[in-house]
Amino acid sequence: MFDGFDPVTLARAQFAFTMSFHIVFPAFSIGLASYLATLEALWLWTGRPVYLDLFKYWLKIFAIGFGMGVVSGIVMSYQFGTNWSVYADKTGPVIGPLMAYEVMTAFFLEAGFLGVMLFGLERVGPRLHFLATLMVAIGTLISAFWILSANSWMQTPAGYALNADGQFVPADWYKVIFNPSFPYRLVHMVLAAYLTTAFAVGGVGAYHLLRDPHQAGSRVMFSMAMWMATLVAPIQILAGDQHGLNTLAHQPVKIMAMEGHFESHPDGAPLILFGLPDQAAGRVKYAIEIPKFGSLVLEHNPDAPMKGLDTVPRQDWPPVFIPFWSFRIMVGLGFLMFGLGLFSAWERWRDRLYRSRLLHVFAMLMGPAGFIAVLAGWVTTETGRQPFTVYGLLRTEQSASPLAAPAVGSSLIAFAIVYFAVFTVGVVYMLRLMAHPPHPGEPGVPTDVPARATGITPAIGSVVQ
Amino acid sequence: MSASIDLAIIWAFIIAFAVFVYVVMDGFDLGLGILFPLFPAKEDRNVVMNSVAPVWDGNETWLVLGGGGLMAAFPLAYAVLMPALYTPIIAMLVGLIFRGVAFEFRWRTTAQRNRWDIAFAGGSLLAALSQGIALGAILQGVHVAGRQYAGGWWDWLTPFSVLTGVSLVIGYAFLGSTWLVLKTEDRLRDRAYALSWWLLFAMLGAIGAVSLVTPLLSIHYSQRWFAWPNIIATAPVPLAVVAVTVLLLGSLAKRQDTRPFFLALALFALSYAGLGISMYPYIVPQSITIWQAASPRDSQLFLLVGVSFLIPLILAYTGWSYWVFRGKVKAGSGYH
């Protein structure tokens, strides 16, 4: 059935598919765990029940999202071995310890305290429960630290040597962990996770404010989310710009693809706004461009010369069309987020934050923006570093397991069916929870009482203080 | 050189420990899923779920440590075994997906609740069977050429791997039934006791069958167990199995709620020790030793520093979580 297919292409498709599904959940969990910790802290500090209601409201959604992140994450951790065994053998001595540290410092911390966070409020009391929530939130951030360090090492390898078996071996762990692109990628991704959650929370709050502008819980969550949009979206644009400059220094070919710079520009490169990159022809068709603006943005000098893909051997080109467009989607959404942040600040200033229907419609439409931007960003950076798994050193086509096409094709189909069947249902369950407004006496995570539409279950909702 | 040899042995024990903790901890979780069809009443199923809902995620994390640790400490073994076990590993992952999401999903619907109960049971069974098959496939050996797996994608499927697959399903079910003896009351506990009797005998049969067939797989295994003077060191293992079985029969007969589960863990530990005796010093039997597969000293040492204080810390707060949710789980009230 798969005899005509290239097993490496199938393995890449499988990795891209399972990774894309997976990243959505941790991006949400990282931000939501911190948001939950903030809500619980505010509840403990102010004693206002609305914060506890919001905490329990988002905790139920967190539980579903976190569960899907866990099960899709285990697939990722085993896929290095099942489908990329040559890569695993060669990079295991460097990447392996980073991932093992992620398990020991992050996954166990999250899993160990998750049970208390979800089910333990009455058992351990509010303060110890807050500690558990905090540990889960810190765990998600530690997880981001290690996995982004590992990913960044693949993008900008440092601190390694090669041994007789062709393995990358550690020479300097500090340089391995804090490799050149890591600090930029970490900041950019953690901010992205926070913004993703903020826009999801803001979208849900806006949806409920459109129906009932006086609902207390919707007001609080919407206001908190819009503060995040106002303050963090501009920081994220700056962080993204710095990340881009770092990429220009260490992975210039990726920038050429993102910018659509097939040709070198000795006296200032244009900024191509839109166009259709044609890989075979080596040019961008129908390009709409601003002369010299590319050099101005990337080199801060309109006349700075910039090399194009014509200086790179063709077998080292990434596929230009994908990162060119995914990058524009990400940046476009970033500026829309920035715009929503400004607009909400303006309406807040005019004391219309809870009444401006235009703002609420805008915020509701922007609810999924973070998820799309995160996916577009990862597509950009992962496609843009092709054709390498370890940048410049190990080619993707030489990283795969010695598996025949039918094996990989079958697993790809199995994952596709299972992921669509399971995760779309999970997302529907999350959306159903979001469709109800938070209300006083919000119930917690269910254990014995099936979820009812908006039913209040006092036995579970009550809190021993 | 001697220091690096020591590190490889230390790491073999660490990986073995992580896998063992996974096997027994997720073992009873998966066992509950395997037994789920035998508890058709909704309130019973809720109690069964609630008895592990706060801890299952932590239990499963040991599987990620086993995989991640193997890639870090023995990358060559990871790179050879994972493609060799491709189908069982993928099947296990799919099973774990269905099992894992069921914990949350089954509360989110009344109309389709049964669907996620089926996912929980089917996913648990598939994951357990796949793990057992993978174990058998490792024991029977895989084709290796150079630094790569060199066999086909159905090599794992043999009568022996099916035997180990079924055996592990039985073993997990036994862990699950003794866990229910520990955590439940009344009618549910009575069912669990009755199941534990059946499953104990089935597990002893499975241990016997695997123990009889394994030495026939390779001269290495039979010499390891029966050649003089090895037999002095190996004989205590089957003798201890007999002793633990006697204790288990007694505690089940006297209906001591706590002891059967821990004795079941002991039975697993002994079976596991038997596997270790068979395999050592190979990590890919008869092809790659732990020293050949070991990553460089710098990698193993760097990770060992963290392991030495993080694992005790993890065990401490995991223990705390179990302590918080100690005691019998009552129907109709979850943990509240």
Tens digits of residue pLDDT in A391-403: 999 999 999 998 8
Q: Are B153 and A402 in contact (CB < 8 Å)? A: no
pLDDT at position B53? 87
Token duo for residue B37:
């069809």
The pLDDT of residue A365 is 96
| Pairing, β A271-278 against β A283-290 | antiparallel
Q: What is the mean pLDDT of residues B286-304?
A: 90
The pLDDT of residue B299: 92
**B67 to chain A, closest Cα gap in Å:** 7
Span A8-22, mean pLDDT? Answer: 93
Checking if the pLDDT of B264 tops 90, the result is yes
**Residues 6 or more apart from A384 whose CB is under 8 A from it?**
A251, A253, A254, A255, A257, A258, A318, A323
Rounded to an integer, the average pLDDT of A103-112 is: 91
The string over B124-141, giving b where at least 16 C-beta atoms fall within 10 Å of a residue's C-beta and e elsewhere, is bbbbbbbbbbbbbbbbbb
The ipTM assigned to this model is 0.89
* Mutation to test the A interface, candidates B57, B59, B291, most A Cβ within 10 Å: B57
Measured CA to CA, the distance from residue A257 to residue A235 in angstroms comes to 25
Mean pLDDT over all residues of chain A?
90
Helix, coil or strand: residue A6? coil
Give the residue, A444 or A155, on which the prediction is more confident: A155
Which chain A residues touch B54 with a CB distance below 8 Å? 114-116, 118-120
Task: Name chain B contacts of A405, Cβ cutoff 8 Å.
Answer: none
Q: Using the beta-carbon criterion (under 8 Å), do A169 and B299 form an inter-chain contact?
A: yes
> What average pLDDT does this structure show over A43-54?
93
Q: Tell if the CB–CB gap between B103 and A67 is shorter than 8 Å.
A: yes
CA distances from B189 to B35, B41, B192 (A): 13, 14, 5
Alpha-carbon gap, residue B189 to B180, rounded angstroms: 6
The amino acid at B103: F
> Cβ contact (<8 Å) for B78 and A407?
no
H helices within B36-156, ranges in order? 42-50, 56-73, 75-84, 86-105, 113-139
Q: Are strands B282-284 and A388-390 parallel, antiparallel or unpaired?
A: unpaired
Mean per-residue pLDDT, A182-202: 96
Chain position carrying tokens 């863990």? B265
Cα gap A414→B91, rounded to integer Å = 9
pLDDT tens-digit profile of A317-344? 999 999 999 999 999 999 999 999 999 9
Tokens of B216: 């026939």
Contacts of A367 (CB under 8 A, 6+ apart): A199, A200, A202, A203, A204, A206, A207
Pairing of strands B282-284, A283-290: unpaired
Nearest of A452, A299, A398 to residue A89 by alpha carbon: A398
Residue B151: pLDDT over 90:
no
CA distance A204 to B9: 54
Contact at CB, A81 and B335, closer than 8 angstroms: no
Q: What six digits make up the tokens of A9?
A: 């292409």
Calculate mean pLDDT across residues B192-215: 92
**Cβ pair A402, A419 in contact under 8 A:** no
- Asked if pLDDT for residue A465 goes beyond 80, the answer is no
Mean pLDDT of all residues in A124-136: 93
Q: How far apart are CA B36 and CA B191, in angstroms?
A: 12
Cβ contacts of residue A390 below 8 Å, gap of 6+? A87, A90, A91, A154, A157, A168
Cα separation, B8 vs B108, in Å, equals: 47
Which of B3-12, B31-40, B77-86, B248-257 shows the lowest per-residue confidence on average (mean pLDDT)?
B3-12
Mutation target vs B (from A447, A449, A457, A460; most B CBs, 10 A cutoff): A447
So what's the pLDDT on residue B333?
55
pLDDT band at B335 (very low <50, low <70, confident <90, very high): very low
C-alpha distance from A148 to closest chain B C-alpha (Å): 16
Residues forming beta bridges with residue A277, ordered by sequence position: A284
How buried is A271 (Cβ within 10 angstroms: 0-12 exposed, 13-18 middle, 19+ buried)? middle
Q: Closest partner residue to A404 among B96, B153, B310, by Cβ?
A: B153
pLDDT confidence of residue A464: 35
Whether residue B68 and residue A77 make contact (CB cut-off 8 A), yes or no, is: yes
Query: For an interface test with A, which of B14, B49, B85, B104 has the most A Cβ atoms less than 10 Å from its Cβ?
Result: B104
Beta bridge partners of A306: A265
- On the question of pLDDT at A456 being above 60, the answer is no
| pTM, 2 dp | 0.90
What percentage of chain A has pLDDT greater than the value 90? Answer: 75
pLDDT over 80 at B113, yes or no: no
For residue A100, give the chain B residue with the closest CA.
Answer: B68
CA gyration radius for chain A?
24
Q: CA distances (Å), B68 to each of A24, A102, A113, B75, B122, in order?
A: 22, 9, 21, 9, 26
Whether B53 and A94 lie within 8 Å, measured CB to CB: no
| β-pair partners for B288 | B284
pLDDT class for A448, splitting at 50, 70, 90?
low
Average pLDDT, chain B: 89
pLDDT on residue B231: 85
Residue A234: is its pLDDT beyond 70?
Answer: yes
**Min Cα–Cα distance to chain B from A241, Å:** 34
The single-letter code of the amino acid at A219 is R
Q: At residue B228, does pLDDT exceed 60?
A: yes
Q: Where are the beta strands (DSSP E) in A164-225?
A: 168-170
Residue of A224, A218, A219 whose CA lies nearest to A199: A224
Residue written as token pair 């539980």 = A63
